[in-house]
């Protein structure tokens, strides 16, 4: 018989492993892009869609995944998402061309959209209230670490085997987690909800149209028939989605009332801008180390360790500080440091810049990223009611992933407009202004974090009392 303590432990292990695996795929492909470009004969647009096919489907369907889990059972949908992600990984590894790879990455994104928000709600339901802040801090750190070390893992795998193995590695992990998830996780549901199908369609088509236009703008002309109309139609559909969520939907996929909370609004604004600047910059910087400075994929990943390894060292300290001083100060400080680090890299970028000159900027960026990732999940969930945690988790993940999508699209467009792959000088000519824009976006994120209310972590007794007053989750089975 599974005890509560044992079930909590298994929930933490399974959700953390699944979160790490799915989050890793945000950026694991970045150091493999030059190999994919050569092997599959892909251009810049194909490389952008290799990343964006995952992040866009992930972002758009996160709210749908969270809603389905609330209605049909979190454990059930978690296992379905895990199965889809595993199957998409196998398909990506078998891709004979760039079109196939982009399609497989989209399947991965659908699986991750169901999987990731449910890791948070399953864990939150399983952990006692007095230990919730610590558990969610570790959850955020694991997700942040996975995103951060993606370039290193990708580089090591590509150099040791081939780019296909960055996807094959997911398959045995997913297969191993599936039976454990079915037998060890407790089933639960949230408040009864219906799928907001009009909202899903409007958001999906609207965001796809905007991203399609941005990605194709430089190659096809910003006023071309395949660029401007999709962007305009996309913007109209996004506006229609907001109007529908405000007035038409009886059970909206994104309840606009959540944004009445200043904590929820400002944290998500900061996350959107943070991922815009970070994802777009890493997309280009990981290629810079290979294309311009001629490191192989593993060497490039290792040289980014001063940035990407910082969460291992800083996050435990940041988590403890978060419980004492609250998340506002840490978020603002972390975003400020990340902005400084990116600006530093843009300032010194040149074909001949020494690696050691880049290390201080990598360290500053890594410390800043760590301070951001440690408290962000708990800050978001602390700003909404307990029964709204599932949809709030989905909304927050969707917003930050959209930041990554638009960061890669916009910074990629700036890079293509000002530079290219022709030589080291032309690459840097596009890289520097793009990373400056990324730094400015993260600086704006720091300003948004300063507008957060002054919240401190609740005392254990107070947290337990608040949990008793909150509506309980509906147990199933």
Task: Assess whether pLDDT exceeds 80 at residue 215.
Answer: no
pLDDT digits (tens, 9 = 90+) for 149-188: 777 777 788 877 888 898 998 899 899 989 988 888 878 7
How far apart are the C-alpha atoms of 362 and 300, rounded to whole Å? 13
Task: Specify the higher pLDDT residue, 41 or 355.
Answer: 355
Give the residue from 235, 253, 258 showing the smallest Cα distance to 59. 253
Task: Assess whether pLDDT exceeds 50 at residue 470.
Answer: no
Task: Specify the higher pLDDT residue, 3 or 221.
Answer: 221
pLDDT value for 134 = 66
Mean pLDDT of 94-108: 91
pLDDT digits (tens, 9 = 90+) for 238-284: 899 889 888 877 777 777 888 888 888 898 899 999 989 988 888 78
pLDDT value for 465 = 32
Q: What is the fold of 4-182+253-458?
A: Growth Hormone; Chain: A; (1.20.1250)
Domain ranges of the chain: 4-182+253-458, 196-252
Mean pLDDT of 49-57: 79
Percent of the chain whose pLDDT exceeds 70: 84
pLDDT digits (tens, 9 = 90+) for 81-98: 999 999 999 999 998 888
Confidence of residue 133 (pLDDT cuts 50, 70, 90): low
User: Half-sphere exposure (CA, 13 Å, Cβ side) for 168?
Assistant: 10
User: What own/partner pairs with CB < 8 Å and gap ≥ 24 does 227-236 have?
Assistant: 233/206, 233/209, 234/205, 234/206, 234/207, 234/208, 234/209, 234/210, 235/206, 235/209, 235/210, 236/206
User: What's the whole-model pTM score?
Assistant: 0.72
pLDDT digits (tens, 9 = 90+) for 388-431: 776 777 677 778 877 877 888 788 888 888 888 888 899 999 99
Confidence of residue 436 (pLDDT cuts 50, 70, 90): very high
C-alpha angle with apex 225: 220 to 230, nearest 5 degrees?
Answer: 95
pLDDT value for 439 = 96
Give the chain's count of helices (H) and strands (E): 19, 2
| φ, ψ of residue 474 in degrees (nearest 5) | -80, 115
Exposure string over 458-471, b if 16+ CB within 10 A, otherwise e:
beeeebeeeeeeee
Nearest 10 degrees: CA dihedral of 113, 117, 122, 124?
170
Highest mean pLDDT among 176-185, 190-199, 211-220 belongs to: 176-185
pLDDT value for 26 = 66
Cβ–Cβ under 8 Å, residues 59 and 154: no
pLDDT value for 193 = 61
pLDDT digits (tens, 9 = 90+) for 308-342: 777 777 766 776 676 667 678 888 899 999 999 99
């Amino acid at each position: 018989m599974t005890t509560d303590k044992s079930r909590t432990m298994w929930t933490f292990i399974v959700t953390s492993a699944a979160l790490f695996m799915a989050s890793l795929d945000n950026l694991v492909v970045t150091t493999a892009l030059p190999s994919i470009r050569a092997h599959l004969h892909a251009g810049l647009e194909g490389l952008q869609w290799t990343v964006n096919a995952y992040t866009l489907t992930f972002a758009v369907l996160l709210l749908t995944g969270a809603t389905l889990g609330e209605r049909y059972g979190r454990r059930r949908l978690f296992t379905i998402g895990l199965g889809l992600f595993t199957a998409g990984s196998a398909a990506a590894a078998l891709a004979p061309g760039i079109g196939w790879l982009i399609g497989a990455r989209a399947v991965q994104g659908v699986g991750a959209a169901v999987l990731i928000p449910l890791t948070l709600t399953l864990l939150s339901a399983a952990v006692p209230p007095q230990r919730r802040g610590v558990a969610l801090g570790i959850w955020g750190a694991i997700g942040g670490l996975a995103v951060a070390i993606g370039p290193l893992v990708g580089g090591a795998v590509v150099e040791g085997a081939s780019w296909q193995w960055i996807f094959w590695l997911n398959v045995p992990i997913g297969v191993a987690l599936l039976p454990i998830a079915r037998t060890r996780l407790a089933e639960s549901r949230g408040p009864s909800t219906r799928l907001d199908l009009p909202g899903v369609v409007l958001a999906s088509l609207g965001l796809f149209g905007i991203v399609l236009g941005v990605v194709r703008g430089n190659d096809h002309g910003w006023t071309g028939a395949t660029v401007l109309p999709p962007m305009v139609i996309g913007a109209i559909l996004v506006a229609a989605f907001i109007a529908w969520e405000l007035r038409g939907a009886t059970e909206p996929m994104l309840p606009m009332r959540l944004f009445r909370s200043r904590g929820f609004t400002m944290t998500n604004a900061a996350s959107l801008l943070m991922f815009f600047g970070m994802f777009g910059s890493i997309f280009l910087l990981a290629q810079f180390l290979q294309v311009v400075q001629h490191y192989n994929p593993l060497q490039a990943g290792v040289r980014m360790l001063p940035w990407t390894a910082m969460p291992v060292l800083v996050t435990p300290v940041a988590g403890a500080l978060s419980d004492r001083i609250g998340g506002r100060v840490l978020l603002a400080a972390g975003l400020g440091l990340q902005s400084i680090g990116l600006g530093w890299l843009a300032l010194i970028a040149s074909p001949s810049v020494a690696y050691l000159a880049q290390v201080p900027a990598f360290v500053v960026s890594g410390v800043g990223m760590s301070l951001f990732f440690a408290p962000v999940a708990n800050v978001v969930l602390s700003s909404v009611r307990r029964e709204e945690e599932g949809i709030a988790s989905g909304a927050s993940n969707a917003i930050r992933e959209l930041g990554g999508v638009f960061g890669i699209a916009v910074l990629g467009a700036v890079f293509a407009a000002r530079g290219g792959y022709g030589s080291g000088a032309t690459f840097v000519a596009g890289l520097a202004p793009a990373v400056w824009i990324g730094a400015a976006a993260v600086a704006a994120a720091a300003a948004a974090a300063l507008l957060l209310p002054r919240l401190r972590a609740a005392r254990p007794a107070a947290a337990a009392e608040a949990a008793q007053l909150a509506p309980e989750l509906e147990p199933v089975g």
